[in-house]
Amino acid sequence: MTTLHPDEAAAWGLAGKGRRGHDPSNPDGTLINDQSVRPELVLGDRDFHSVTETICGWNEAKTPKWWLGAFGLSTSIAGLGTLMIVYLIITGVGVWGLQNPVAWGWAIVNFVWWVGIGHAGTLISAILCLFKQKWRTSINRFAEAMTIFAVICAGTFPGIHVGRVWMAWMLFPIPNSNWIWPNFRSPLLWDVFAVGTYFTVSLLFWYMGMIPDLASLRDRATIRLIDKMERGVQGTALLFDKIAAYAYGFLSMGWRFSTRHWNNYEKTYLMLAGLATPLVLSVHSVVSFDFAVSIVPGWHTTIFPPYFVAGAIFSGFAMVLTLLIPARALFPGMKDFVTARTVENMCKIITVTGTMVGFAYITEFFIAWYGANPFEQQTFIRRMFGPYWWAYWAMFTCNVVSPQVFWFKWCRTNIPFIFLITIVVNIGMWFERFVIVSTLSSDFMPSAWGYYSPTFVDIGTFIGSLGIFMTLFLLFCRFLPMLAISEVKNVMHQAHEHLHPHDDHHGEGH
């Protein structure tokens, strides 16, 4: 089974390249354009054993130096964020830049940004699973983990913005002595339920998917332990293997790789995928309701729910790539799983969702004009040419213009360039929410118009949330299986019996 089809030269001809033979710009050979073959999903002539060895090896190897450095930096930044939160709690929400009429500032921007980022994981693991997109197997675990951490960061902001954090439990409809109930007609309350449900289901999905791989790590740690004990090793030299065996053993919940276990696993996986799919749509729809149910010009527009969902997937994919590209370079052998084709596919999704977001901007703008509502029209003109013009154009350039570069194959296959664009997209999506919030600074009463600026606490908390995110993410990379081992094996050609008895030229990685 070669990676490349014999028709490779013809494929390159079809792609308009006019080149023959192995292409240097296409080192892993998956970027073929031939319509009669499917590219391999796993490269490097691997067998099942080498897949397990590589993926478990990332967790079992000696801690890399870069990891320690990155972890130190991330935890320091996370510490800064924590300090800011402590300062906020002991002083009060006045330390933020909020002022009437801008009662929602960076906190809601950060919340929506993080929740949006948290959409890609479940999209990749649930929706792409239902669509049987097999290339997703190498990135789904990674993206799900990122989802969980992003939602944790998101949840911080509504939690701390209530001012008296010790009263945050009153967000939940729990009977209390004063008979004060949350307002069930408020989308802010729906948020609590929507994000809470989303987090729970995503966590279950992520954890459930990891159980077989955790069991692999457990078994490997146990074997190492026994091996060492047989060789007469004693004392602290056994400590790490003991911890690993017990911790992974606890987490793998008695998984024994029996057929019955796999059967339950597959069923649960499919059911959770089915349950998570509507959640991908509902969470950001509800977040969009936070704005859209109000009667503030520029906030109230009916296209918000699908537009927010598209934007969420857009930013989520960008963040997955932002993390994946360095990981792919740093962890040995990862490029065999996360192939150039996988990255290219993700770039295409970024272009699609970015264009959908752009479509929504243009729809909004057109209908603001067509609706003939002077307040709405003024809002859009002020967004573009008012005091926050820089935010609007930053948003538009980053979100609509920048992803269009992926129409060109060079851009989709040039890894450093993709990395750059994903950062740009992340910035743009942050500005999208900032543009919505900054609209408040010029509301119906011109005498109240002002200019909203964040304080150092706003900025520090946001940067701190990035640190929390990175810290969690680095921990995940170090201690948990980063790729879904069984799923990756399932899309390798060895996993399928020979489907074409007379076939000796079709790719089998489909």
Query: Interface residues with another protein (CB under 8 A)?
Result: 14-15, 33-36, 38, 130, 132, 278, 281, 285, 289, 292-295, 300-306, 352, 355, 359-360, 362-364, 366-367, 369-373, 407, 496, 499-501, 503, 506, 510
Residue with tokens 């959770």: 272
CA distance 309 to 288: 9
Residue 89: CB minimum distance to another protein, A: 33
Nearest alpha carbon to residue 364 among 427, 301, 425, 418: 301
Residue 151: CB minimum distance to another protein, A: 22
DSSP 294-308: S--TTT--TTHHHHH
Residue 305: CB minimum distance to another protein, A: 4
Residue 38: CB minimum distance to another protein, A: 8
Residue 49: CB minimum distance to another protein, A: 23
Residue 288: CB minimum distance to another protein, A: 9
Q: Check residue 89 and report its DSSP letter.
A: H
CB count within 10 Å of CB 349 equals 22
Residue 502: CB minimum distance to another protein, A: 9
Residue 402: CB minimum distance to another protein, A: 16
Estimate to the nearest angstrom the gap between the alpha carbon of 183 and the chain centroid: 31
Residue 148: CB minimum distance to another protein, A: 25
Strand partners, 99: 102
Q: Would you say 478 or 510 has its CB closer to another protein? A: 510
Contact assessment for residue 396 and residue 361, using Cβ atoms and an 8 Å cutoff: yes
What are phi and psi for residue 99, nearest 5 degrees?
-160, 150
CA distance 103 to 97: 9
Residue 17: CB minimum distance to another protein, A: 12
Tokens of 49: 């054993």
Q: Would you say 241 or 344 has its CB closer to another protein? A: 344
Q: Would you say 278 or 326 has its CB closer to another protein? A: 278
Residue 254: CB minimum distance to another protein, A: 27
Q: Would you say 164 or 300 has its CB closer to another protein? A: 300
Residue with tokens 């009667």: 295
Estimate to the nearest angstrom the gap between the alpha carbon of 500 and the chain centroid: 38
Estimate to the nearest angstrom the gap between the alpha carbon of 269 and the chain centroid: 19
Estimate to the nearest angstrom the gap between the alpha carbon of 194 and the chain centroid: 18
Q: Would you say 228 or 510 has its CB closer to another protein? A: 510
Nearest alpha carbon to residue 507 among 494, 496, 495, 493: 493
What are phi and psi for residue 102, nearest 5 degrees?
-85, 80
Q: Would you say 416 or 501 has its CB closer to another protein? A: 501
- The beta-carbon contacts of 407-414 under 8 Å, at least 24 apart in sequence, are 407/351, 409/15, 409/31, 411/347, 412/343, 412/344, 412/347, 412/348, 413/25, 413/26, 413/31, 413/340, 413/343, 413/344
The runs of H, that is alpha helices, within 255-303 are 259-292
Q: Would you say 99 or 277 has its CB closer to another protein? A: 277
Q: Would you say 255 or 289 has its CB closer to another protein? A: 289
Helices and strands (H and E) in the chain: how many: 18, 0
CA distance 213 to 52: 9
Q: Would you say 15 or 80 has its CB closer to another protein? A: 15
Nearest alpha carbon to residue 142 among 413, 420, 484: 484
Q: Would you say 58 or 198 has its CB closer to another protein? A: 198
Which amino acid, residue 111? Answer: F
Q: Would you say 365 or 419 has its CB closer to another protein? A: 365
Tokens of 269: 């996986």
Q: Would you say 377 or 397 has its CB closer to another protein? A: 377
Three-state secondary-structure class, residue 71 = helix
Q: Which helix (H) or strand (E) holds 313?
A: helix 304-330
Residue 270: CB minimum distance to another protein, A: 10
Tokens of 321: 């790539």
